[in-house]
Amino acid sequence: MDEVDGGRSPRPLSRRRVLKSVGVAAGAATVGGGHLLSRDSPEMPRRLDSWPPDSGAATVVTADYYDQWSVWAAEAFAERTNVEVQHYPTFAWNPSRSLGGREKPPGVLCTAFERVKGLFTEPSASEEPEGSFDNVVTTTDSLGRAMDDGLLHPLPAEDVPSFDRVFDVFSSVRAHRADGDVFGLPVEAQLTPLVYNADYFERPPDSWDALWDGADEGEVLVDTDVVYGHPEIAALYAGEDPSDPDFERLESVLRRQRPLLVDGHDDRDGPSAVDRFAAEDAVVGSLSLPALYEARFERDVPLEYVVPSEGSVLNCYFSVVPTASRRPLAGLQYANWLCRPEVAARRWELDRAVPTVPLVEHVSPALRSFLAWADEGQFHLKPHLFGPDETTTKYRRLMQRVEEGEDAG
Protein backbone atom coordinates (compact mmCIF):
# COMPACT_ATOMS: atom_id res chain seq x y z
CA MET A 1 0.00 0.00 0.00
CA ASP A 2 1.02 3.58 -0.57
CA GLU A 3 -1.86 5.54 0.95
CA VAL A 4 0.25 7.18 3.62
CA ASP A 5 3.93 7.72 2.97
CA GLY A 6 4.96 8.16 6.56
CA GLY A 7 4.36 4.71 8.03
CA ARG A 8 1.56 6.13 10.20
CA SER A 9 -1.41 8.46 9.86
CA PRO A 10 -0.14 12.05 10.08
CA ARG A 11 -0.75 13.73 13.43
CA PRO A 12 -2.06 17.30 13.50
CA LEU A 13 0.97 19.53 13.17
CA SER A 14 1.77 21.44 16.35
CA ARG A 15 3.34 24.18 14.26
CA ARG A 16 3.62 24.95 10.58
CA ARG A 17 6.47 22.96 9.07
CA VAL A 18 8.45 25.31 6.89
CA LEU A 19 11.40 24.95 4.60
CA LYS A 20 14.82 25.69 5.96
CA SER A 21 16.62 26.97 2.91
CA VAL A 22 20.17 27.49 4.07
CA GLY A 23 23.11 29.24 2.47
CA VAL A 24 25.28 26.18 2.71
CA ALA A 25 28.49 27.70 1.47
CA ALA A 26 28.53 30.05 4.46
CA GLY A 27 28.31 27.28 7.01
CA ALA A 28 29.58 24.00 5.64
CA ALA A 29 31.01 21.68 8.24
CA THR A 30 34.61 20.62 8.22
CA VAL A 31 35.05 16.87 8.42
CA GLY A 32 38.49 15.55 9.15
CA GLY A 33 40.08 12.65 7.35
CA GLY A 34 38.27 10.95 4.49
CA HIS A 35 35.56 8.91 6.19
CA LEU A 36 31.96 8.94 5.01
CA LEU A 37 30.28 9.34 8.42
CA SER A 38 29.86 5.57 8.68
CA ARG A 39 29.74 5.73 12.49
CA ASP A 40 26.22 7.22 12.47
CA SER A 41 25.04 5.93 9.10
CA PRO A 42 22.70 2.92 9.26
CA GLU A 43 22.41 0.44 6.43
CA MET A 44 19.59 0.45 3.91
CA PRO A 45 17.58 -2.81 4.18
CA ARG A 46 17.85 -5.04 1.14
CA ARG A 47 14.11 -5.80 1.39
CA LEU A 48 11.23 -4.18 3.23
CA ASP A 49 8.61 -6.10 5.20
CA SER A 50 5.93 -3.57 4.27
CA TRP A 51 5.36 -0.19 2.69
CA PRO A 52 5.57 2.47 3.88
CA PRO A 53 8.55 1.77 6.13
CA ASP A 54 8.60 3.22 9.63
CA SER A 55 11.73 5.35 9.47
CA GLY A 56 11.26 6.78 12.95
CA ALA A 57 12.62 10.06 11.59
CA ALA A 58 11.34 13.51 12.44
CA THR A 59 13.46 15.12 9.74
CA VAL A 60 14.71 14.36 6.24
CA VAL A 61 17.56 16.42 4.77
CA THR A 62 17.38 16.90 1.00
CA ALA A 63 19.20 18.59 -1.86
CA ASP A 64 17.56 19.49 -5.17
CA TYR A 65 18.02 21.82 -8.12
CA TYR A 66 14.67 23.60 -7.79
CA ASP A 67 14.18 26.05 -4.93
CA GLN A 68 10.63 27.16 -5.78
CA TRP A 69 9.53 23.56 -6.02
CA SER A 70 11.33 22.67 -2.79
CA VAL A 71 9.41 25.27 -0.78
CA TRP A 72 6.17 23.60 -1.83
CA ALA A 73 7.60 20.10 -1.39
CA ALA A 74 8.75 20.73 2.17
CA GLU A 75 5.29 21.75 3.29
CA ALA A 76 3.45 19.09 1.27
CA PHE A 77 5.67 16.23 2.46
CA ALA A 78 5.41 17.38 6.08
CA GLU A 79 1.63 17.61 5.88
CA ARG A 80 1.44 14.08 4.46
CA THR A 81 3.99 12.38 6.70
CA ASN A 82 4.68 14.68 9.67
CA VAL A 83 8.37 14.56 8.70
CA GLU A 84 10.09 17.92 8.44
CA VAL A 85 12.12 18.65 5.30
CA GLN A 86 15.38 20.56 5.50
CA HIS A 87 16.27 21.51 1.94
CA TYR A 88 19.55 22.74 0.49
CA PRO A 89 19.91 23.88 -3.15
CA THR A 90 22.30 21.60 -5.02
CA PHE A 91 24.09 24.35 -6.91
CA ALA A 92 24.70 26.32 -3.70
CA TRP A 93 26.56 23.44 -2.07
CA ASN A 94 30.26 24.02 -1.65
CA PRO A 95 32.29 21.18 -0.10
CA SER A 96 34.18 22.16 3.01
CA ARG A 97 37.26 20.13 2.17
CA SER A 98 39.18 18.64 -0.71
CA LEU A 99 38.10 15.04 -1.01
CA GLY A 100 40.75 12.41 -1.54
CA GLY A 101 40.50 8.94 -2.99
CA ARG A 102 40.47 7.72 -6.53
CA GLU A 103 41.94 9.58 -9.45
CA LYS A 104 39.65 12.40 -10.59
CA PRO A 105 38.92 13.72 -14.07
CA PRO A 106 40.98 16.80 -14.95
CA GLY A 107 40.08 20.46 -14.77
CA VAL A 108 36.50 21.61 -14.69
CA LEU A 109 35.09 18.08 -14.58
CA CYS A 110 37.01 17.41 -11.39
CA THR A 111 35.71 20.65 -9.86
CA ALA A 112 32.13 19.86 -10.85
CA PHE A 113 32.18 16.41 -9.30
CA GLU A 114 33.96 17.59 -6.16
CA ARG A 115 31.11 20.05 -5.57
CA VAL A 116 28.47 17.37 -6.02
CA LYS A 117 30.39 14.74 -4.08
CA GLY A 118 29.99 16.81 -0.94
CA LEU A 119 26.28 16.13 -1.11
CA PHE A 120 26.96 12.41 -0.76
CA THR A 121 29.61 12.55 1.95
CA GLU A 122 29.46 15.67 4.13
CA PRO A 123 27.20 17.09 6.83
CA SER A 124 24.45 19.37 5.62
CA ALA A 125 25.43 22.39 7.72
CA SER A 126 27.76 23.28 10.56
CA GLU A 127 25.28 23.40 13.45
CA GLU A 128 22.55 21.02 12.32
CA PRO A 129 22.27 17.90 14.51
CA GLU A 130 20.55 16.05 11.66
CA GLY A 131 23.87 15.49 9.90
CA SER A 132 24.30 14.41 6.29
CA PHE A 133 21.92 14.43 3.34
CA ASP A 134 19.29 11.72 3.24
CA ASN A 135 18.08 12.33 -0.31
CA VAL A 136 19.83 14.02 -3.22
CA VAL A 137 18.44 14.67 -6.70
CA THR A 138 21.40 14.45 -9.04
CA THR A 139 22.37 14.01 -12.67
CA THR A 140 23.14 10.85 -14.57
CA ASP A 141 26.79 11.91 -14.62
CA SER A 142 27.14 12.34 -10.86
CA LEU A 143 25.04 9.25 -10.18
CA GLY A 144 27.39 7.08 -12.20
CA ARG A 145 30.49 8.45 -10.53
CA ALA A 146 28.97 8.20 -7.04
CA MET A 147 28.05 4.57 -7.74
CA ASP A 148 31.62 3.88 -8.84
CA ASP A 149 32.91 5.44 -5.62
CA GLY A 150 30.52 3.49 -3.38
CA LEU A 151 28.75 6.59 -2.09
CA LEU A 152 25.13 5.46 -2.61
CA HIS A 153 22.86 2.92 -0.97
CA PRO A 154 21.36 0.24 -3.21
CA LEU A 155 17.59 0.64 -2.94
CA PRO A 156 15.02 -2.10 -2.23
CA ALA A 157 13.34 -1.34 -5.56
CA GLU A 158 11.01 -4.36 -5.48
CA ASP A 159 9.29 -2.95 -2.40
CA VAL A 160 9.09 0.74 -3.37
CA PRO A 161 5.81 1.61 -5.16
CA SER A 162 7.24 4.34 -7.38
CA PHE A 163 9.54 1.93 -9.18
CA ASP A 164 6.34 0.48 -10.65
CA ARG A 165 5.06 3.96 -11.53
CA VAL A 166 7.92 5.17 -13.72
CA PHE A 167 7.75 4.72 -17.48
CA ASP A 168 8.80 1.30 -18.76
CA VAL A 169 11.73 2.83 -20.65
CA PHE A 170 13.62 3.08 -17.36
CA SER A 171 13.70 -0.69 -17.05
CA SER A 172 16.18 -0.70 -19.95
CA VAL A 173 18.22 2.31 -18.82
CA ARG A 174 21.31 1.01 -17.06
CA ALA A 175 22.66 4.25 -15.57
CA HIS A 176 21.20 3.61 -12.11
CA ARG A 177 21.83 -0.14 -12.01
CA ALA A 178 24.94 -2.21 -11.33
CA ASP A 179 25.50 -5.87 -10.43
CA GLY A 180 21.80 -6.46 -9.89
CA ASP A 181 21.39 -3.47 -7.57
CA VAL A 182 19.39 -0.29 -8.18
CA PHE A 183 20.88 2.96 -6.86
CA GLY A 184 18.47 5.67 -7.99
CA LEU A 185 14.84 6.42 -8.79
CA PRO A 186 14.40 8.48 -11.99
CA VAL A 187 12.48 11.67 -11.13
CA GLU A 188 13.06 13.91 -14.16
CA ALA A 189 13.76 13.33 -17.85
CA GLN A 190 15.54 15.46 -20.41
CA LEU A 191 15.33 14.39 -24.02
CA THR A 192 16.06 15.63 -27.52
CA PRO A 193 12.88 15.10 -29.54
CA LEU A 194 12.50 15.87 -33.24
CA VAL A 195 10.38 19.05 -33.35
CA TYR A 196 8.58 20.32 -36.44
CA ASN A 197 6.09 23.00 -37.48
CA ALA A 198 2.95 21.10 -38.45
CA ASP A 199 2.00 23.81 -40.98
CA TYR A 200 5.09 22.98 -43.05
CA PHE A 201 4.82 19.18 -43.08
CA GLU A 202 2.15 17.12 -44.82
CA ARG A 203 2.95 14.23 -42.51
CA PRO A 204 5.09 13.99 -39.36
CA PRO A 205 8.77 13.31 -40.08
CA ASP A 206 9.90 9.99 -38.66
CA SER A 207 13.67 10.26 -39.04
CA TRP A 208 16.49 12.58 -38.07
CA ASP A 209 17.19 12.94 -41.78
CA ALA A 210 14.61 15.76 -41.60
CA LEU A 211 17.47 17.84 -40.16
CA TRP A 212 19.77 16.96 -43.05
CA ASP A 213 18.18 15.60 -46.22
CA GLY A 214 14.65 16.89 -45.67
CA ALA A 215 15.38 20.54 -44.86
CA ASP A 216 16.13 23.62 -46.90
CA GLU A 217 18.88 26.10 -46.16
CA GLY A 218 18.35 28.07 -42.95
CA GLU A 219 15.36 26.04 -41.68
CA VAL A 220 16.95 23.91 -38.94
CA LEU A 221 17.48 24.86 -35.30
CA VAL A 222 18.81 22.76 -32.45
CA ASP A 223 18.15 24.60 -29.18
CA THR A 224 21.14 25.48 -27.02
CA ASP A 225 19.35 23.67 -24.18
CA VAL A 226 20.06 20.44 -26.03
CA VAL A 227 23.29 21.50 -27.75
CA TYR A 228 25.24 18.69 -26.13
CA GLY A 229 22.68 16.35 -27.64
CA HIS A 230 23.39 17.75 -31.11
CA PRO A 231 26.36 15.48 -31.94
CA GLU A 232 24.49 12.49 -30.53
CA ILE A 233 21.59 13.35 -32.86
CA ALA A 234 24.10 13.36 -35.70
CA ALA A 235 25.32 9.94 -34.56
CA LEU A 236 21.78 8.54 -34.64
CA TYR A 237 21.21 10.01 -38.10
CA ALA A 238 24.47 8.48 -39.34
CA GLY A 239 23.65 5.06 -37.90
CA GLU A 240 26.41 5.30 -35.30
CA ASP A 241 26.32 4.20 -31.68
CA PRO A 242 26.15 7.51 -29.72
CA SER A 243 28.26 6.01 -26.94
CA ASP A 244 31.06 4.97 -29.32
CA PRO A 245 30.77 6.80 -32.65
CA ASP A 246 33.15 7.31 -35.54
CA PHE A 247 34.07 10.93 -34.73
CA GLU A 248 35.56 11.67 -38.15
CA ARG A 249 32.31 10.60 -39.78
CA LEU A 250 30.32 12.66 -37.28
CA GLU A 251 32.37 15.74 -38.04
CA SER A 252 31.66 15.36 -41.74
CA VAL A 253 27.93 14.93 -41.04
CA LEU A 254 27.79 18.01 -38.81
CA ARG A 255 29.71 20.18 -41.27
CA ARG A 256 27.33 19.15 -44.04
CA GLN A 257 24.43 20.32 -41.90
CA ARG A 258 25.86 23.80 -41.23
CA PRO A 259 24.23 25.58 -44.22
CA LEU A 260 20.84 24.22 -43.17
CA LEU A 261 20.98 25.79 -39.71
CA VAL A 262 19.18 29.04 -38.94
CA ASP A 263 21.50 32.02 -39.31
CA GLY A 264 22.91 33.00 -35.92
CA HIS A 265 21.61 29.80 -34.34
CA ASP A 266 24.51 29.63 -31.88
CA ASP A 267 24.26 33.28 -30.79
CA ARG A 268 23.34 33.03 -27.13
CA ASP A 269 22.62 36.78 -27.00
CA GLY A 270 20.18 36.63 -29.92
CA PRO A 271 16.52 35.57 -30.07
CA SER A 272 15.61 32.44 -28.15
CA ALA A 273 14.93 29.17 -29.92
CA VAL A 274 11.23 29.61 -29.18
CA ASP A 275 11.36 33.09 -30.75
CA ARG A 276 12.95 31.60 -33.88
CA PHE A 277 10.25 28.96 -34.22
CA ALA A 278 7.51 31.50 -33.46
CA ALA A 279 8.82 33.77 -36.22
CA GLU A 280 9.00 30.73 -38.54
CA ASP A 281 12.70 31.32 -39.09
CA ALA A 282 13.05 27.67 -38.09
CA VAL A 283 10.55 24.97 -39.02
CA VAL A 284 12.30 21.79 -37.87
CA GLY A 285 14.92 20.89 -35.28
CA SER A 286 15.08 19.94 -31.63
CA LEU A 287 13.82 21.72 -28.51
CA SER A 288 13.63 20.71 -24.88
CA LEU A 289 10.11 19.80 -23.81
CA PRO A 290 9.79 22.87 -21.53
CA ALA A 291 10.72 25.15 -24.46
CA LEU A 292 8.35 23.26 -26.73
CA TYR A 293 5.58 23.64 -24.15
CA GLU A 294 6.12 27.40 -24.10
CA ALA A 295 5.94 27.56 -27.89
CA ARG A 296 2.82 25.44 -28.25
CA PHE A 297 0.74 26.20 -25.17
CA GLU A 298 1.78 29.75 -24.32
CA ARG A 299 2.55 31.21 -27.75
CA ASP A 300 0.30 29.12 -29.98
CA VAL A 301 3.08 28.00 -32.33
CA PRO A 302 1.92 24.84 -34.18
CA LEU A 303 4.87 22.69 -33.11
CA GLU A 304 4.72 18.94 -32.64
CA TYR A 305 7.36 16.44 -31.58
CA VAL A 306 8.18 12.82 -32.29
CA VAL A 307 10.76 10.28 -31.21
CA PRO A 308 12.29 9.35 -34.59
CA SER A 309 12.81 5.83 -35.82
CA GLU A 310 16.52 6.04 -34.91
CA GLY A 311 15.61 7.00 -31.33
CA SER A 312 16.21 10.02 -29.14
CA VAL A 313 18.91 11.01 -26.65
CA LEU A 314 17.80 10.78 -23.02
CA ASN A 315 19.24 12.30 -19.87
CA CYS A 316 17.82 11.88 -16.39
CA TYR A 317 17.82 13.22 -12.88
CA PHE A 318 17.74 10.57 -10.18
CA SER A 319 16.75 10.59 -6.53
CA VAL A 320 19.42 8.80 -4.50
CA VAL A 321 20.16 7.99 -0.86
CA PRO A 322 23.81 8.56 0.15
CA THR A 323 25.55 5.97 2.31
CA ALA A 324 26.35 8.81 4.72
CA SER A 325 22.63 9.34 5.43
CA ARG A 326 21.60 8.98 9.06
CA ARG A 327 17.99 8.35 8.04
CA PRO A 328 18.14 6.22 4.87
CA LEU A 329 14.53 5.01 5.16
CA ALA A 330 13.32 8.62 5.35
CA GLY A 331 15.41 9.38 2.26
CA LEU A 332 13.86 6.39 0.51
CA GLN A 333 10.37 7.48 1.53
CA TYR A 334 11.02 10.95 0.11
CA ALA A 335 12.29 9.45 -3.16
CA ASN A 336 9.12 7.41 -3.52
CA TRP A 337 6.99 10.50 -2.81
CA LEU A 338 8.74 12.47 -5.57
CA CYS A 339 7.29 10.07 -8.14
CA ARG A 340 3.70 10.20 -7.01
CA PRO A 341 1.75 11.53 -10.04
CA GLU A 342 0.28 14.51 -8.18
CA VAL A 343 3.77 15.46 -6.94
CA ALA A 344 5.36 15.08 -10.38
CA ALA A 345 2.56 17.23 -11.81
CA ARG A 346 3.33 19.97 -9.30
CA ARG A 347 7.04 19.72 -10.05
CA TRP A 348 6.26 20.28 -13.74
CA GLU A 349 3.92 23.17 -12.94
CA LEU A 350 6.45 25.01 -10.78
CA ASP A 351 9.74 24.27 -12.52
CA ARG A 352 8.95 22.49 -15.81
CA ALA A 353 10.65 19.30 -14.66
CA VAL A 354 9.67 16.66 -17.24
CA PRO A 355 7.99 13.80 -15.35
CA THR A 356 9.10 10.19 -15.39
CA VAL A 357 5.63 8.89 -14.52
CA PRO A 358 2.22 9.14 -16.24
CA LEU A 359 0.31 12.08 -14.77
CA VAL A 360 -3.12 10.43 -15.20
CA GLU A 361 -5.90 12.71 -13.91
CA HIS A 362 -3.67 15.38 -12.39
CA VAL A 363 -3.31 17.51 -15.54
CA SER A 364 -5.46 18.33 -18.56
CA PRO A 365 -5.81 15.68 -21.29
CA ALA A 366 -3.81 17.86 -23.69
CA LEU A 367 -0.92 18.24 -21.26
CA ARG A 368 -1.09 14.57 -20.28
CA SER A 369 -0.69 13.63 -23.94
CA PHE A 370 2.13 16.14 -24.39
CA LEU A 371 4.08 14.70 -21.45
CA ALA A 372 3.57 11.06 -22.45
CA TRP A 373 6.98 11.19 -24.11
CA ALA A 374 7.91 7.60 -23.30
CA ASP A 375 4.90 5.90 -24.87
CA GLU A 376 6.88 4.73 -27.87
CA GLY A 377 10.32 4.96 -29.36
CA GLN A 378 13.87 4.03 -28.52
CA PHE A 379 16.03 6.07 -26.17
CA HIS A 380 19.81 6.30 -25.90
CA LEU A 381 21.30 7.53 -22.64
CA LYS A 382 23.80 10.36 -22.89
CA PRO A 383 27.41 9.25 -22.33
CA HIS A 384 28.58 9.37 -18.71
CA LEU A 385 30.39 12.69 -18.15
CA PHE A 386 32.65 11.31 -15.42
CA GLY A 387 33.06 7.90 -17.02
CA PRO A 388 36.37 6.20 -17.73
CA ASP A 389 36.39 6.97 -21.45
CA GLU A 390 36.64 10.36 -23.16
CA THR A 391 33.45 10.20 -25.23
CA THR A 392 31.88 13.32 -23.73
CA THR A 393 35.12 15.30 -23.99
CA LYS A 394 35.46 14.27 -27.63
CA TYR A 395 31.89 15.39 -28.30
CA ARG A 396 32.56 18.81 -26.81
CA ARG A 397 35.77 19.26 -28.77
CA LEU A 398 34.01 18.11 -31.93
CA MET A 399 31.24 20.70 -31.53
CA GLN A 400 33.77 23.41 -30.79
CA ARG A 401 35.70 22.61 -33.97
CA VAL A 402 32.56 22.50 -36.09
CA GLU A 403 31.13 25.73 -34.65
CA GLU A 404 34.41 27.58 -35.06
CA GLY A 405 35.04 26.18 -38.53
CA GLU A 406 38.28 24.49 -37.53
CA ASP A 407 39.69 21.36 -39.11
CA ALA A 408 40.35 18.27 -37.04
CA GLY A 409 43.81 18.46 -35.58
pLDDT at 145: 79
How far is the C-alpha of 229 from the C-alpha of 191, rounded, in Å? 8
On whether both 130 and 279 belong to a single domain, the answer is no
pLDDT tens per residue, range 117-160? 666 666 555 444 456 789 999 888 788 878 888 889 999 999 99
Q: Tell me the pLDDT band of 220, cut-offs 50, 70 and 90.
A: very high
What kind and span of H or E run contains 26?
Answer: none
CATH of the domain at 334: 3.40.190.10
State residue 250's pLDDT score: 94
pLDDT of residue 20: 32
79 and 142 share a domain?
yes
pLDDT in tens, 66-86: 888 889 999 999 999 999 998
Q: Is residue 409 part of a domain?
A: no
DSSP-derived secondary structure letter, 260? G
Same domain for 60 and 125? yes
H/E stretch holding 249? helix 247-257
Q: Answer yes or no: do 200 and 300 share one domain.
A: yes
In 215-246, alpha helices (H)? 230-237
Query: Is the Cβ–Cβ distance between 275 and 225 less than 8 Å?
Result: no
- Looking at per-residue confidence, does 60 or 100 come out higher? 60
13 is a domain residue:
no
- pLDDT above 90 as % of the chain: 45
Q: What would the mean pLDDT of 6-27 be, rounded to a whole number?
A: 32
Instruction: Yes or no: say if 339 and 214 are a contact pair by the CB < 8 Å rule.
Output: no
Q: Is the pLDDT of residue 230 over 70?
A: yes
Q: 18 in a domain, yes or no?
A: no
The answer to whether residue 253 sits within a structural domain is yes
Count of structural domains within the chain:
2
Highest mean pLDDT among 21-25, 30-34, 138-142, 278-282: 278-282
Confidence of residue 269 (pLDDT cuts 50, 70, 90): confident
User: Rounded distance, CA 337 to CA 341, Å?
Assistant: 9
Q: What is the pLDDT of residue 55?
A: 83
> Does 19 have pLDDT greater than 50?
no
Is the pLDDT score of 40 beyond 80? no
Regarding whether 287 and 319 lie in a shared domain, the answer is no
Is residue 241 located within the same domain as residue 326? no
Does residue 166 share a domain with residue 199? Answer: no
Residues 144 and 261 in one domain: no
Q: What is the pLDDT of residue 361?
A: 84
**Confidence check: pLDDT of 108 > 60:** no
Of 78, 42, 50, 51, the C-alpha closest to 62 is 78
CB count in 10 Å sphere of residue 36: 19
The residue-averaged pLDDT of 93-112 equals 37
Q: Are residues 140 and 208 in the same domain?
A: no
Pair 32, 123: CB distance under 8 Å: no
Q: In which domain, by residue range, is 345 found?
A: 24-190+315-370
2 assigned to some structural domain: no
Residue 3 counted as domain residue: no
Q: What is the pLDDT of residue 394?
A: 86
* Section 236-256 average pLDDT: 93
Q: Letter for the amino acid at 89?
A: P
Q: Are both 361 and 400 inside the same structural domain?
A: no
- Give Cα 308 distance to the centre of its chain: 21
Nearest to 42 by CA among 336, 338, 332, 317: 332
Within-domain flag for 63? yes
**Average pLDDT estimate for 311-324:** 90
DSSP label at 253? H
**Mean of the per-residue pLDDT values of the chain:** 79
Is the same domain home to 198 and 343? no
341-346: Cβ within 8 A, 24+ apart:
341/165, 343/73, 343/76, 344/187, 346/69, 346/72, 346/76
SS3 for 325-386, per residue?
CCCHHHHHHHHHHHCCHHHHHHHHHHHCCCCCCCCHHHCCHHHHHHCCCCCCCCEEECCCCC
Which amino acid, residue 48?
Answer: L
pLDDT band for position 224 (cuts 50, 70, 90)? low
Whether 258 and 124 share a structural domain:
no
Question: Global pTM?
Answer: 0.81
For residues 301 and 294, what is the distance between their CA atoms, to the nearest angstrom? 9
Out of 83-87, 106-110, 133-137, 322-326, which region has the weakest mean confidence (pLDDT)? 106-110
**In this structure, what are the phi and psi dihedrals at residue 394, rounded to the nearest 5 degrees?**
-65, -40
Question: In this structure, is residue 19 part of a structural domain?
Answer: no
The string of pLDDT tens digits covering residues 382-405 is: 765 555 557 778 888 898 899 887
β-pair type (181-182, 177-178): antiparallel
